[in-house]
Structure 1
Amino acid sequence: MASDQQDPDALRVYFSEELRRTRQRAKLSQSQLANALGCTPQWICQLEKTDKTVSEQTALDLDTYFKTDGWDQDDGHFHRIHTAIRRAGRHRVLRPSFDNYRLQEAQAIGIRCVAAQLVPGLLQVEGYARGIMDENEPAETLDARVAVRMERQGIFLRETPPETMFVLDESALRRPVGGSKVMVEQIDHLVEMTRRPNIQVLIMPFERITPLALGGGFILLSFVRDSDLMYTEAGHISQLIGDKDVLFKAGVHFNLVMGEALSQAESIEFMLRVREGYL
Structure 2
Amino acid sequence: MASDQQDPDALRVYFSEELRRTRQRAKLSQAQFANALGCTPQWICQLEKADKTVSEQTALDLDTYFKTDGSDQDDGHFHRIYTAIRRAGRHRVLLPGFNAYLRHESKATSIRCFAAQVVPGLLQTEDYTRGTMDQSEPAETLDARTAGRIDRQAILTRDKPPETMFVLDESVLRRPVGGQKTMIDQIEHLICAAQSPHIQVRIMPFHRITPVALVGGMILLSFEKEGDLLYFETGCVGQLVDREDAVFKAGVHFITMVGEALSQAESIEFMIQARETYL
TM range (shorter): 0.7 to 0.9
> After superposition, what is the alpha-carbon deviation per residue over 1:211-233, rounded to whole angstroms, capped at 9, x for unaligned?
34422000122344543221112
- Secondary structure of the 1:177 match is coil
Q: Which one is further off, 237-246 or 66-75?
A: 66-75
Aligned-partner Cα distance in 1 for 2:111–2:124: 16
- Could you tell me which of 145, 148, 151 is aligned with 1:145? 148
What are the superposed Cα offsets for residues 78-126 of structure 1, whole Å, 9 maximum, x if unpaired? 2232122223334444567434433433444433211011111222234
Aligned AA (1:113): C
Question: CA separation in 1, counterparts of 2:46 and 2:189?
Answer: 40
What is the deviation of 1:152?
Answer: 3.2
CA distance in 2, matches of 1:110, 1:199: 10
Inter-partner Cα distance in structure 1 for 2:112 and 2:256: 13
Question: Quick check: 1:243 aligned with 2:236?
Answer: no
Q: Is the 8 A contact 1:6 1:91 kept in 2?
A: no
Which residue of 2 is the match for residue 78 of structure 1?
78
- Listed as ranges, the gaps of 5+ residues in structure 2 are none
Q: Paired residue for 1:192?
A: 192
With over 3 angstroms needed to count, the CA separation of the structure-2 counterparts of 1:120 and 1:262, relative to structure 1, is same
Partner of 1:46: 46
SS at structure 2 position matched to 1:138: helix
Superposition deviation, residue 67 in structure 1: 4.1
Give the superposition deviation at 1:190. Answer: 1.3
The offset of 1:254, in angstroms, is 1.8
Alignment of 1:126-145 (within 5 A): 126-133=126-133, 136=138, 138=140, 141-142=144-145, 144-145=147-148
1:20-169 counterparts in 2 under 5 A? 20-24=20-24, 26-30=27-31, 32-94=32-94, 97-133=97-133, 136=138, 138=140, 141-142=144-145, 144-146=147-149, 148-154=151-157, 157-158=159-160, 161-169=161-169
Pair 153,235 (structure 1): closer, same or farther in 2 beyond 3 Å: farther
Q: 1:195 to 1:78 in 2, by over 3 A?
A: closer
Deviations, residues 222-262 of structure 1 (Å, cap 9, x unaligned):
34454322111234412221223222322232233233333
Query: Helix, strand or coil: the match of 1:216?
Result: coil
Task: Sort the Cα spacing of 1:143 and 1:50 in 2 relative to 1 into closer, same or farther, 3 A.
Answer: farther
Tell whether the 8 Å contact from 2:113 to 2:217 is kept in structure 1 after alignment: yes
Deviation per residue, 1:22-48 (Å, 9 max, x gap): 445534235x44343233444333323
Q: Distance in 1 between matches of 2:13 and 2:225?
A: 46
Whether the 8 Å CA contact 2:155–2:162 is kept in 1: the answer is no
Task: Give the distance between the partners of 1:96 and 1:40, measured in 2 at CA.
Answer: 41
In the TM superposition, 1:221-232 aligns within 5 A as 221-232=221-232
Query: Residue type matched to 1:138 in 2?
Result: E
Aligned CA distance change for structure 1 residues 50 and 235 (closer, same or farther; 3 Å): farther
Could you say what secondary structure the match of 1:231 adopts?
Answer: strand
How far apart in 2 are the matches of 1:96 and 1:246? 21
- Give TM-score scaled by structure 1 length: 0.81
Q: Which moved more, 1:216-225 or 1:68-77?
A: 68-77
**SS class of match (2:138):** coil
- Aligned residue for 2:250, secondary structure, equals helix
Q: Give the whole-Å Cα distance in 2 for the aligned partners of 1:228 and 1:210.
A: 24
8 Å Cα contact 1:93-1:145 kept in structure 2:
no
In structure 2, the CA distance between the partners of 1:244 and 1:70, relative to structure 1 (3 Å rule), is closer
CA displacement at 1:174 relative to structure 2 = 2.6
What value does the CA root-mean-square deviation take over the aligned residues?
Answer: 3.0
Aligned residue pair count: 275
* Comparing 216-225 and 139-148, the one that deviates more: 139-148
